[in-house]
Amino acid sequence: ETGVTQSPTHLIKTRGQQVTLRCSSQSGHNTVSWYQQALGQGPQFIFQYYREEENGRGNFPPRFSGLQFPNYSSELNVNALELDDSALYLCASSLDVVSTDTQYFGPGTRLTVL
């Protein structure tokens, strides 16, 4: 086990709704990264937070936003849900933002948008 947890496990929403996904990082890990994994694809980088500040963003629109809290927890918020947002959402924690830091993944939240 990586010590990274995510909630909920599964979630069903309808198009246009908003959703919040939660992640609890390993204690002492200052960095959390969020990924979207569509069925049959590799994880795609959404954004990264380091010490509660956004530290890089992939090719995702502003309706994807995040927060990181001092207690090693974080959130991914998605507004105005679209059908294509259906995917497995993964968070990964790492010690720092050094490029060679290992990232440890949680089990993911499966989001289905109807």
Partner 1 sequence: GENVEQHPSTLSVQEGDSAVIKCTYSDSASNYFPWYKQELGKGPQLIIDIRSNVGEKKDQRIAVTLNKTAKHFSLHITETQPEDSAVYFCAASTTGNQFYFGTGTSLTVIP
Q: Closest approach of Cβ 26 to partner 1, in Å?
A: 13
Q: Is residue 83 helix, strand or coil?
A: helix
Q: Does 53 bind partner 1 (CB under 8 A)?
A: no
Q: How many residues bind partner 1 (CB under 8 A)?
A: 32
Q: Does 66 bind partner 1 (CB under 8 A)?
A: no
- Beta-sheet strand order (sheet of 19-24): 5-7, 19-24, 73-78, 64-68
Q: From the centroid of its chain, how far is CA 25?
A: 11
Q: Which amino acid is at 47?
A: F
Question: Could you say which of 25, 31, 68, 74 contacts partner 1 (CB under 8 A)?
Answer: 31
Q: Does 11 bind partner 1 (CB under 8 A)?
A: no
Cβ neighbours of residue 100 closer than 8 Å, sequence gap 6 or more: none
Q: Closest approach of Cβ 16 to partner 1, in Å?
A: 28
Q: Does 60 bind partner 1 (CB under 8 A)?
A: no
Within 13 A of 72's CA, how many CA atoms are on the CB side? 16
| Binding stretches for partner 1 (CB under 8 A) | 2, 4, 6, 31, 33, 35, 40-45, 48, 55-56, 58, 90, 92, 94, 96-108
